[in-house]
Amino acid sequence: MTAQLARFVWRPLWQGLYGDLFGKGTGMNSFTPWDTKEVFATEYTDGPINPWDSDGGPPGYWKEGFMTVQKSINNVIHQILTGQHIPDYNENLMIGRFPFPSYQSKIIESGGVFLLATVNVIIISQMLAVIQTAKEIVVEKENRLKEYMQTMGLSKWVHWVSHFITHSVKLVVLVTATTILLHFITTKYVFSILQTKGSAASMAAQIVWTVLYLWYALFNTFDLRSSFSFTVRMVNCLNPNIALSYGITFLAQCETQELSRESMQILSALGVTTPTSGTAYIDGFDIRTSLSQIRKRIGLCPQYNILFNSLSVMEHLEFFCKLKGQTYNRSEAVDILTRLKVESKMNARAGELSGGQKRKLLLAIALIGGSEVVMLDEPTSGMDPSARHETWTLLQEEKSRRTILLTTHFMEEADLLGDRIAILANGQLQCCGSGMYLKAQYETFAFDINVQFARN
């Protein structure tokens, strides 16, 4: 009976060990509680394994009957080697823990769950910072702030160095806060209760991480069918994988410039885009070779409201005046805002202004610093009639000491403000001259419209 038991037990044990080494057998390996693949324990611990279990704890050397199997195998081996039969004794066997040297009790094993959790916390925190940085850069590009600042004299290397310094400071603050939290908050006790082995914790973390990615796929599928609200999106961004995927989406989107041909020609004159052919001279300087000199002399009011929502009106004027390389004069800024009838908003943030007030602020930015050449791309679009007339009055006063290039879709505005009017079609000049000359050359048409209302 003993020999049969030995053959029954010995063969599966040998097959399991053989299968671990050569990929065959029963598949008993290091993922089971009985680590048959390793001769010795590979995990370093600061104390004995399962010190609170009197029988040694898992794996169950006593409870799972391994001790009985070991005794039977020992008897069989002894019988084979000596040729003597060992009778079965009914004596009581006592087991005891193997003595362990003096140690200091620590809740978390080195390289265990707490290390894994710490790494995840650091990675997620850095991930959020990277996503925020990428979003700010893309939003700045989307709002055309980078191109606008470049037209005012900002160098590319200064722009990118400023981003590097700003976000490096953010990361330093984030890392410092994370270090303090990990030092004082004893989350290690929580993790030590949840798992007893680091390998199990690692496997659980991988499964949870994968499930979170699957949640993004499910969320994105329903979002494409019916878009969720902003609040729902922000709540789902608490899932780091969804937040990361949104950040990658922002980076992957192709940012296009929806500019008309007239706007492209203006940007070519400012050096933002390279002209395909020809050139232009501003105050005697060639736009292809002397952009740094040109940008000190020009002011630009773009077609879109390109502003920093977090800066006030006066901060905008000071920033762009210094960006042009000019000395900032507060009295000049107050005078321009007063003439535009927005002096009451000088301390308000740009994000709090109405559409018409934003157009006035962009016009003030173009004029600040004594710009000799002012380019206005539809400056009165989005203004109400009263604000439009206030802007016209200011431009009529300013055109006596500045060169102003203005694009507009309103012939009334062009006739009132323009000393010379140029008409473009398909990016090509069709005609140019004063308002009276164009009327005489192409004649004028008058329409009389009579509307009659029928009585019911």
**Fold adopted by 261-442:** Rossmann fold (3.40.50)
**Mean pLDDT per segment of 10 residues, for the chain of length 456 residues?**
42 43 42 57 62 72 76 84 74 70 58 57 71 76 73 76 83 77 53 49 61 66 58 71 66 47 51 67 78 79 83 89 85 90 88 87 88 86 86 87 86 84 81 81 66 64
Spans of all domains in the chain: 2-82, 113-252, 261-442
pLDDT on residue 127: 73
pLDDT of residue 144: 73
pLDDT value for 117: 62
Closest CA to 45 of 54, 57, 37: 57
Q: Note the pLDDT of residue 295.
A: 76
**What pLDDT score was predicted for residue 17?**
39
